[in-house]
Amino acid sequence: MSIEDFFNYQNIIFIGLFVLICICLFFNLKQKKRLDLFFEGGGKDVEKLLKEQIQKTQNFDQDLKQVLERISKLENISQKTFQKIGMIRFNPFKEVGGDQSFCIVLLDADNNGFVISSHFTREANRVYSKEIKNGKSSYSLSNEERKAIEKAISGA
């Protein structure tokens, strides 16, 4: 066989096809390795895997909807719970030593709640409570009670 016979038209096509097939096989094996890693060793088919993922997504959507409903309920409940607290200690009577008297205020998100005041003397201890609506009371408030309300509302 001469070089001219070797490089004739048919042999060139054959050699080209052989090289092309080798290249395709190489890339096919490389791609198969990637897919095997993606599909956990190649044991699952693509359709089954996609169905499982769709089911998981639907379950996740249902769970997320339930969680959002719970959060909404908790937000509604939290608006009615006491969130703001203010306390002032004071000495209303000069003859008694120390700040034994106090005012404590408990308010919700809308500044509704109550104030409790305790006045301590040597002879007795007096406790008063007053309702608070929108940060105000229909009863007259002492300076200490007003300060405790302001402290609760401002968060100081």
User: Residue holding tokens 């106090």?
Assistant: 102
* Residues 116 and 101: beta-carbon distance below 8 Å: no
Residue 35: give the domain boundaries.
3-77
Query: Does residue 55 share a domain with residue 12?
Result: yes
* Residues 137 and 120: beta-carbon distance below 8 Å: no
* Residues 82 and 97: beta-carbon distance below 8 Å: no
Task: Specify the DSSP class assigned to residue 133.
Answer: B
Separation between Cα atoms, residue 128 and residue 102, nearest integer Å? 11
Domain end position, chosen among 46, 77, 108: 77
Query: Does residue 102 share a domain with residue 69?
Result: no
Query: Does residue 132 share a domain with residue 115?
Result: yes
The structural domain count of the chain equals: 2
Q: Which of 152, 153, 155, 156 is nearest to 103 (CA)?
A: 152
Domain end position, chosen among 62, 77, 92: 77
Query: Does residue 111 share a domain with residue 52?
Result: no
Domain end position, chosen among 77, 107, 127: 77
Beta-ladder partners of 84: 107
Separation between Cα atoms, residue 136 and residue 109, nearest integer Å? 14
Query: Does residue 96 share a domain with residue 71?
Result: no
- Predicted confidence at residue 10, as pLDDT, reads 72
Backbone angles phi, psi at 2, to 5 degrees: -95, 170
pTM of structure: 0.57
Average pLDDT for 6-25: 82
Q: pLDDT per residue over 56-114, tens digit each?
A: 999 999 999 999 999 999 998 888 889 999 999 988 777 667 788 999 999 998 999 99
Instruction: Give Dmax over CA atoms of the chain in angstroms.
Output: 131
Query: Does residue 139 share a domain with residue 101?
Result: yes
Query: Does residue 144 share a domain with residue 90?
Result: yes
Task: Specify the DSSP class assigned to residue 44.
Answer: S
Query: Does residue 69 share a domain with residue 97?
Result: no
Query: Does residue 34 share a domain with residue 67?
Result: yes
Query: Does residue 55 share a domain with residue 103?
Result: no
* Residues 156 and 148: beta-carbon distance below 8 Å: no
Query: Does residue 66 share a domain with residue 27?
Result: yes
